[in-house]
């Protein structure tokens, strides 16, 4: 009898020092403790012991981490986007926080849209989404997790990462949400276009509706999205599951996640 074989693709970036994944004031900071560094802590917790009581004079390795909930690969809750959600689903209600996100949203079939050819700062439209779905031969199903492969994925770790990639505009986001999608993702720093491009367009046009327009779609239909994904270029358009359960932080706007793609279409002998 053959048994199912699962293949996993890591879709997450590292939490690490010295790699540009956020603007410097928002960057994570990790302090590493080696095994000898925590001896004093162990001795305080276990009175009467001495360094000689620990094998090779080692206690435990540990780390102190300073983060925002939006560092690393993370899942944004509707609360991050606006204080209310679902205005177009029967009326506004308070937005849910990350600990209230339905777990079923976070483990569903994945769909990848390949938008690497769009220039940095481009704002994808509903027509762009529709054309890509037609190209890959997929009809959106409720709760599909739709991830967007932008040019930013190839720039992670480089100085231009924060300004790389296209963004998803209001109408592109609503196209997905109106078809039952409740969780999306991008390998860029933000679901919207990089702020530098948005700022230039607002200054040029005076149109304040361009500010965070993809995020603000959550006012009309509440949804979550993943930011700073990785390895999307190795995924096919469909045929995989995405798992992205967020850390359970009470009342928070986001939670860190180890996002992975899971392929279950292969079999191996026992």
pLDDT value of residue 81: 97
pLDDT value of residue 269: 41
Beta bridge partners of 115: none
Number of residues that make up the chain: 270
Per-residue pLDDT tens over the stretch 219-234: 999 999 999 999 999 9
CATH 3.50.30.50 maps onto the chain at 74-264
Per-residue pLDDT tens over the stretch 133-176: 999 999 999 999 999 999 999 999 999 999 999 999 999 999 99
In the block, residue with structure tokens 């900071």: 29
Q: How far is CA 133 from the centre of its chain?
A: 21
Low-confidence residues of the chain, pLDDT below 50?
267-270
pLDDT value of residue 225: 97
pLDDT value of residue 5: 85
- From CA 225, how far away is CA 147, in angstroms rounded? 9
What fold, for 74-264?
Glucose Oxidase; domain 1 (3.50.30)
pLDDT value of residue 51: 95
Q: How far is CA 19 from the centre of its chain?
A: 17
3-state SS, the chain, equals CCEEEEEEEECECCCCCCCCCCCHHHCCEEEEECHHHHHHHHHHHCCCCCHHHCHHHCCCCEEEEECCCCCCCEEECHHHHCCEECCCCCCCEECCCHHHCCHHHHEEEEEEEECCCCCCCCEECHHHHHHHHHHHCCCCCCCCEEEEECHHHHHCCCCCHHHCCCEECHHHHHHHHCCCCCEEEECCCCCCCCHHHHHHHHHHHCCHHHCCHHHHHHHCCCCEEEECECCHHHCCCCCEEEECCCCCCCCCCEEECCCEEEEEEEEECC
């Amino acid at each position: 009898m053959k048994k199912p074989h699962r293949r996993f693709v890591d879709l997450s970036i590292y939490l690490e020092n010295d790699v540009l994944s956020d603007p410097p004031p928002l960057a994570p900071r990790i302090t590493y403790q080696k095994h000898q560094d925590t001896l004093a802590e162990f001795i305080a917790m276990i009175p009467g012991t001495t360094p000689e009581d620990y094998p090779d004079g080692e206690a435990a390795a540990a780390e102190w981490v300073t983060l925002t909930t939006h560092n690393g690969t993370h899942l944004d809750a509707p609360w991050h986007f606006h204080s209310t959600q679902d205005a177009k689903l029967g009326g506004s209600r308070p937005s849910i926080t990350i600990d209230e996100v339905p777990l079923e949203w976070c483990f569903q079939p994945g769909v990848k849209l390949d938008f690497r050819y769009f220039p940095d700062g481009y704002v994808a439209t509903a027509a762009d989404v529709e054309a890509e779905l037609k190209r890959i031969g997929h009809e959106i199903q409720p709760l599909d997790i739709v991830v967007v492969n932008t040019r930013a994925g190839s720039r992670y770790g480089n100085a231009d990462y924060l300004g790389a990639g296209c963004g998803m505009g209001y109408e592109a986001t609503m196209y997905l949400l109106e078809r039952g999608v409740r969780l999306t993702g991008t390998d860029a720093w933000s679901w919207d276009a990089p702020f530098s491009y948005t700022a230039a367009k607002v200054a040029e046009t005076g149109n304040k509706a361009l500010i965070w327009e993809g995020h603000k779609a959550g006012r009309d239909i509440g949804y979550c999205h993943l930011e700073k994904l990785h390895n999307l270029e190795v995924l096919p358009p469909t045929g995989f599951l995405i798992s992205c359960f967020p850390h359970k932080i009470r009342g928070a706007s986001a939670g860190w996640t180890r996002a992975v793609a899971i392929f279950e279409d292969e079999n191996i002998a026992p």
